[in-house]
Amino acid sequence: MENTKLTGQHFGVECSVSVIIVSYNTSDLLSACLKSLERELANSRLAGQAEIFVVDNNSRDGSSDMVKTEFPRVRLIQNTENLGFGKANNRAIERAKGDYLFFLNPDAEVCQGAIAVMLDFMKKTTDIGLAGTALIFPDGSPQPSVEKTYPGARYAAADLQNLPGDIAWVMGASMIARAGLIKRIGGFDERFFLYGEDIDLCLSVRKHGFAVGYIPDAVIIHHEGQSEKNSLPLHVFEKKMAAAILFFKKHYSGKSRKTIRNIQSLQAIWRIFSLRISLLFFPSDPDRRQKLSKYKKILSFYKSF
């Protein structure tokens, strides 16, 4: 195991829920997130029945010092390098004492009553192994949080038969799961560094016989994408493509993967051809050039797939 340092303490002896937050250079947003959590726990019947983990992926913005100073009861795990989202979550999962695990992004804030609603939902719906919550932008507008299909699913129907429930996956920014089930699955697949972990975990939950649920009355404010705000769009796209390829290799048969590769490659070739023609007439168009780079990346990914 990588070198880590654990500080902080439990909220209480009995633990209903373990909140797990993976942080990377989001100090200000993390502070607001933790304040919302502590306020919610203090104002509900859950005071003394929860623990909060922050797993810091070697942030350089003072995140760890802020947590130690302002939130001494939070259990801080300090990694000496950026382990990625899934691997960092697993460092807390193996230490968590709660019956339920609440995975929360550091750029999120918990609205009043959300945690109690989530726990009530999970206790009443025993066929649900993991559930997502309603996500909203800071201005109150709704944010997509539920998907009914998996990437490439139209070409992999045989690989996705007889799965329980009708929700494919929920956004990993805010989701609650049964701790025993997640530990039995083995936590997050650590091969997913960033992006795709939520999709993969939800499918693993369904393959273990549980449905994925959605809790519309549990509302979370999500600022979205803050840990990658300084990354170039093409670099973010490359990470998402790498995660998609890993997902296909893990869950789909060779026949399904071949179909996906052939169709996606042909589409990319056509788009590259079309964009090159259009750039003859609009040579300085940045959008067209960015799209051309994107489809070249797609083609290169699928050539090695």
Q: How far is CA 289 from CA 240, 264, 277, 284, in A?
A: 20, 20, 12, 8
* Average pLDDT of the segment spanning 247-257: 97
Rg (CA), the chain: 21
Helix (H, G, I), strand (E, B) or coil at 91: helix
Residue 12: pLDDT over 70: no
Residue 289 amino acid letter? R
- Nearest-10 crossing angle of helices 233-251, 254-281: 160
Q: 0.85 cut: is pTM over it? A: yes
**∠166-209-130 over CA atoms, to 5°?**
65
Query: Could you tell me the residue ranges of all domains in the chain?
Result: 4-228, 233-303
* Average pLDDT of the segment spanning 241-245: 94
43-70 pLDDT per residue, tens: 887 878 899 999 999 999 999 999 999 9
Residue 217: pLDDT over 70: yes
- Tokens for 260, please give them: 């996906």
Q: Contact 143/220 with Cβ under 8 angstroms?
A: no
Q: Average per-residue pLDDT in the chain?
A: 92
The model's confidence at residue 265, banded by pLDDT at 50, 70 and 90, is very high
Give CA–CA dist 252/161, Å, rounded.
12
CATH 3.90.550.10 fits 4-228, yes or no: yes
Q: Give the whole-number percent of the chain exceeding pLDDT 70.
A: 92
Q: What pLDDT is stored for residue 234 in this prediction?
A: 82
Q: What pLDDT is stored for residue 6 in this prediction?
A: 63
Residue 212: pLDDT over 90: yes
Q: Which of 214, 34, 39, 177 is nearest to 112 (CA)?
A: 39
Q: From the CB of residue 1, how many other CB atoms can be counted at a distance below 10 Å?
A: 6
